[in-house]
Structure 1
Amino acid sequence: MSSSRCLQLLEKCRNINQLNQAHALAIACGLGSNSFALSRIIAFCSDPFHGSLSYGYKIFQHIENPTICICNTMIKGFLLKGESFEAIRIYKLLLRNSTRRPDNYTLPYALKACTNMGSSNLGESIHGHAAKLGFLSDNFVGNSLIVMYSDFGEMGAARIAFDEIYCHCVVSWTVLISGYAKKGDVYSARSVFDEARLKDRGIWGAMISGYVQNSCFKEGLKLFRLMQLSGIKPDEANFVSVLCACAHLGSLEIGKWIHIYVGKVGMRVSVKLGTALIDMYSKCGCLDLAEQVFDKLPHRDVICWNTMISGYAMNGDGESALRLFDKMEKLGVRPDNVTFVSLFSACSYSGMAKEGLRLLRTMCNVYKIEPTSEHYGCIVDLLSQVKLVEEANTIVRSMPILGSKSEEAIPWRALLGAFCSQGRVDLAEAAADRVVNLERHSGAYVLLSNAYAFAGRHDEVRRVRKMMKKRGVEKTPGCSSVEINAVVHEFIAGENTHSHMDEIFELLGIIKRQLDSLHSYTYNINEVYLQVGQSRNMSKPEWYNSRHLVVG
């Protein structure tokens, strides 16, 4: 058989048995040490689905002087297999070879291995090798350095690596923006975004996604609009990001418009995009539209099913959530731990304690899913809805260690809320102490303060406030939004920043005077200010001129 025929057979191999035969023929044809033949064999062995990395590594070990291409293929193979230590070992062997040196493919692979290993020190060493070899201005190497330093949260080093690149490509801008957004520094990310002279869809998408991931939903929507005006056609990822923003803002009209726009650009509604639409419609309270999207999807993964079940849960339709779960089981879709979190929430909102406990048994006994902190928190909420706080107390005190302190705090925080809602101040105090020891969060203090306020123990309310101040715990202000004529109006507790705040207070004054004339119910508004923790920070409107607000 000719050499060319042997090489063609190597290219046509589809499984490891065929490769073994082709390898034997190559040796018989005198190609046993041919660099091209060996590179094709090792490339096939490095395939994570059809190859055999161990077989390829045995061949590699017997190559007297492997080419840089063969070394890179072997390093890549170990990376794809998740064996980063082995990848670095081959990289070190390459450094000791005086006739070969790493190139602009080797270094990115090595940097990726450092990220996988969580070794910033080793990454810095390879950064030094890149400098000595003259690759800092290379896009492949520079971008890999930006990604690595971003993953380690070292954005200063990432920016230095960015500045060392001779000619920035769109990937360079995108990965740097993504790095800042990942760290929560949207201001620096936007500065980099504004620096970019040419912005492709990836750069726009990175900035929009960064805004949304950091809860800057309005900014994300504004930037999406600017992207449209710039003539950039959105892709699926862009649509998913802005739909997420609409969901959190409750911006139904904009969400509907985006749904229509998806159809206008001729984009197929995939499982991912459909799930985002279901989530948006559910959070905006339009279950009928969410159901329409769900029913039209030709394929659904478990995340899609979970989102629809969660939609029923957040809208208080527990029965529909359970019916959908039954359908999910009949179709053979295996639920995961998120499925049951949504189901427990649905039962809690609908007061279906018996069904929730039955689902808990199903989760543990049928699907062998170990309860997490979120499951315990949902069960506590479920039991508290039907005033079974003693049972909830027993469950939480007997639960196993769930991992980190923040995870363990979730069911205790739920238990604290249950005690407060039932006026069990004695039990609330003990639960609050446990939560405070597990996490530094204002929620426990506020809940305990509210419990004291409802019990009329205002001295204790002030003591908790002083404790918060002494420990440097600040309460995150409440925030609400409402959409009127496709415009989202946002209100933050303690701030009078809305442009129509004077008119709002004037209207509240009118309502107060009308209620005042009814003289049918008296509510202590001072107590409200104590409960929400705004008595010192929130300026009272002009109509607040008496101790009691009369409510009809």
Structure 2
Amino acid sequence: MPPCFCSFNPPSTSISKFISDQPFLSMLETNCHTIKDLKKIHAHIIKTGLAKDAVAASRVLAFCATGPDRDLVYAFSVFRQIEEPNLFIWNTVIRGFSQSSDPHVAISLFVEMLVDSRVQPEKLTYPSVFKAYTQLGLAEDGAQLHGRIVKLGLEFDPFIRNSIIHMYANCGLLGNAWKLFDEDRDSDVVAWNSMVMGLAKCGEVEESWRLFCKIPCRNEVSWNTMISGYVRNGKWIEALELFYEMQEMGIKPSEFTLVSVLNACAKLGALEQGKWIHDYIKKNGVELNVIVITAIIDMYCKSGDVETARQVFVTTPWKGLSSWNSMMLGLATNGFEDDVFELFLELESSNLRPDSVSFIAVLTASNHSGRVDKAREYFKLMTETYSIEPTMKHYGCMVDVLGRAGLIEDAAELVKSMPMKPDAIIWGSLLSACSSHCLRGFQESSAGKDDDEEEADGETTGM
């Protein structure tokens, strides 16, 4: 059992030597792969008093804040137990939250660091904060921090400058991004990529292409950014052509590139090209994560090859909810309504919880099959059991299925009850149903009138 430590001040030897001298810190470096492992080691670190040491605390924090199996709730609790966080600890926890689904926490921690901490931010702190503003789409607020950067004389630091360019470009403030980016000077590839992405995102795809062609040294991200930009702007053929050019140059595509070109194939219904990309994924051992699997299923469904999509879905052991939704939507749009209902039951029995997209799939299937009973059942299940607020698409499916069944009054009442203003699609569905129903009624009335006239004519002739 290692001795108990109340406080640690590593000697002049290196930190690595200090870590190697402590059994539990060494385990943290070599035998810790999951949060479960970390918690066990951390418990021993606390018992020995080693947790009070800044080096030990920073290593624990780094694993749970920025590691591959991170747990930011646990990271935050670890951070709060550190009495005097140093600059590395502040940067670590801010960076962890800036890369999470809660980037606002990174900004709150940065403000706390400015106001309450003896340690002040340095140049490695700021890129994470700008990343948080980017994720939140708050470039205007980030511009205030940009002003602080200028006052501190840090605007020429490449990491900070690139993070600011990325923030402005990603949030659509292209004028601000252009002021920092100068294509005729020594901008690095990160800045070029940010501008290519920002322009494509704002619909300026030709200007995005012009910049892409001028990048002095394109990397994998450059190609991926331009291909995804083409897909985003509906230039699917151009995306595929650029992908094949990428192949000819021997540049290995990332999973993001492959997802983009699979999406292009799906939009074009280009089954053969999609199959080639699927084969490429299998031959080159590309990781079949949820995003890739969903893109493959979506491509096959939208290209009309539902059976292959189903085979991919069934043989994949690590399906995410998006994969289930893609399969159900594909079945619904290809006329396999009963299969959608069965798959939804399987989803409910799994460890996943249906979301709003799942219910769009089953409502679409109910609409296509004319099953008013099913549509009402799923709509009630969505709102009452799963507490999911219906969107315009959900209401659109309900109005359509009720209208097609001739239940005009029910459809009209549903439109009145909507919490949002009906859009053109909702009104179009309702008006189409009214028109169709009135026409049907007129035809039936006319047919009945003709029968009466024929009967009267027959009686007259028989007199």
Partner of 2:202: 183
Conservation of the 8 A alpha-carbon contact between 1:76 and 1:87: no
SS in 1 for 2:181: helix
Deviations 1:134-180 (A, max 9, x none): 43333311221012112331012112323399754433222222222
Q: Judge which range, 69-78 or 225-234, deviates more.
A: 69-78
Matched, 1:86 2:121: no
Q: How does 1:259-408 map to 2 (within 5 A)?
A: 259-267=278-286, 269-399=288-418, 401-402=419-420, 405=421
Partner of 1:527: none
- Find the partner of 2:434 among 410, 419, 435: 419
Deviations 1:389-447 (A, max 9, x none): 22211221123x14xx5x766534432343344457xxxxxxxxxxxxxxxxxxxxxxx
Query: Cα gap change, 1:236/1:364 in structure 2, threshold over 3 Å: closer, same or farther?
Result: same
- Find the partner of 1:174 among 193, 198, 205: 193
* CA distance in 2 between partners of 1:302 and 1:74 (Å): 29
Q: Judge which range, 287-296 or 194-203, deviates more.
A: 287-296
* CA distance in 2 between partners of 1:320 and 1:38 (Å): 53
Conservation of the 8 A alpha-carbon contact between 1:309 and 1:324: yes
2:76 is matched by which residue type in structure 1?
Answer: L
SS in 2 for 1:163: coil
Q: Judge which range, 377-386 or 360-369, deviates more.
A: 360-369
Q: Judge which range, 352-361 or 206-215, deviates more.
A: 352-361
Conservation of the 8 A alpha-carbon contact between 1:377 and 1:411: yes
* CA distance in 2 between partners of 1:116 and 1:272 (Å): 20
Conservation of the 8 A alpha-carbon contact between 1:16 and 1:50: no
Matched, 1:196 2:215: yes
* CA distance in 2 between partners of 1:334 and 1:314 (Å): 22
2:426 is matched by which residue type in structure 1?
Answer: P
Query: Cα gap change, 1:44/1:291 in structure 2, threshold over 3 Å: closer, same or farther?
Result: closer
Determine which structure has the larger helix proportion and give its number: 2
Query: Cα gap change, 1:314/1:113 in structure 2, threshold over 3 Å: closer, same or farther?
Result: closer
Conservation of the 8 A alpha-carbon contact between 1:45 and 1:51: yes
Matched, 1:112 2:134: no
Structure-1-length-normalised TM-score: 0.65
Quote the offset at 1:351 in angstroms: 2.2
* CA distance in 2 between partners of 1:71 and 1:165 (Å): 37
Quote the offset at 1:315 in angstroms: 1.5
Structure 2, unmatched stretches of 5+, are 9-17, 29-36, 440-463
Query: Cα gap change, 1:67/1:165 in structure 2, threshold over 3 Å: closer, same or farther?
Result: farther
1:87 is matched by which residue type in structure 2?
Answer: L
SS in 1 for 2:162: helix
Quote the offset at 1:116 in angstroms: 5.5
Partner of 1:56: 79
Deviations 1:302-351 (A, max 9, x none): 21111111112111221222222233334454322111111111121222
Quote the offset at 1:133 in angstroms: 3.9
Conservation of the 8 A alpha-carbon contact between 1:84 and 1:114: no
2:370 is matched by which residue type in structure 1?
Answer: G
Quote the offset at 1:20 in angstroms: 7.2
* CA distance in 2 between partners of 1:165 and 1:71 (Å): 37
Query: Cα gap change, 1:257/1:39 in structure 2, threshold over 3 Å: closer, same or farther?
Result: closer
Structure 1, unmatched stretches of 5+, are 425-552
Query: Cα gap change, 1:347/1:238 in structure 2, threshold over 3 Å: closer, same or farther?
Result: same
* CA distance in 2 between partners of 1:77 and 1:263 (Å): 33
* CA distance in 1 between partners of 2:74 and 2:170 (Å): 30
2:358 is matched by which residue type in structure 1?
Answer: T
Quote the offset at 1:39 in angstroms: 4.5
Query: Cα gap change, 1:135/1:209 in structure 2, threshold over 3 Å: closer, same or farther?
Result: same
Deviations 1:472-492 (A, max 9, x none): xxxxxxxxxxxxxxxxxxxxx
Matched, 1:230 2:249: yes
* CA distance in 1 between partners of 2:172 and 2:248 (Å): 33
Conservation of the 8 A alpha-carbon contact between 1:42 and 1:70: yes
* CA distance in 1 between partners of 2:41 and 2:284 (Å): 45
Conservation of the 8 A alpha-carbon contact between 1:381 and 1:415: yes
* CA distance in 1 between partners of 2:54 and 2:383 (Å): 56
Conservation of the 8 A alpha-carbon contact between 1:7 and 1:37: no
Partner of 2:180: 161
Q: Judge which range, 129-138 or 282-291, deviates more.
A: 129-138
Conservation of the 8 A alpha-carbon contact between 2:170 and 2:197: no
2:305 is matched by which residue type in structure 1?
Answer: C
Identity %: 36
Partner of 1:444: none
Query: Cα gap change, 1:268/1:386 in structure 2, threshold over 3 Å: closer, same or farther?
Result: same
Query: Cα gap change, 1:144/1:416 in structure 2, threshold over 3 Å: closer, same or farther?
Result: farther
Quote the offset at 1:113 in angstroms: 4.0
* CA distance in 1 between partners of 2:291 and 2:350 (Å): 20
Query: Cα gap change, 1:231/1:390 in structure 2, threshold over 3 Å: closer, same or farther?
Result: same
Query: Cα gap change, 1:114/1:88 in structure 2, threshold over 3 Å: closer, same or farther?
Result: farther
| Cα root mean square deviation, aligned | 3.4
* CA distance in 2 between partners of 1:344 and 1:78 (Å): 37
Quote the offset at 1:284 in angstroms: 1.9
* CA distance in 1 between partners of 2:96 and 2:291 (Å): 30
Partner of 2:461: none
* CA distance in 1 between partners of 2:303 and 2:241 (Å): 19
2:111 is matched by which residue type in structure 1?
Answer: R
SS in 2 for 1:360: helix
* CA distance in 2 between partners of 1:299 and 1:20 (Å): 32
2:209 is matched by which residue type in structure 1?
Answer: R
1:414 is matched by which residue type in structure 2?
Answer: S
Q: How does 1:109-148 map to 2 (within 5 A)?
A: 109-115=128-134, 119-148=138-167
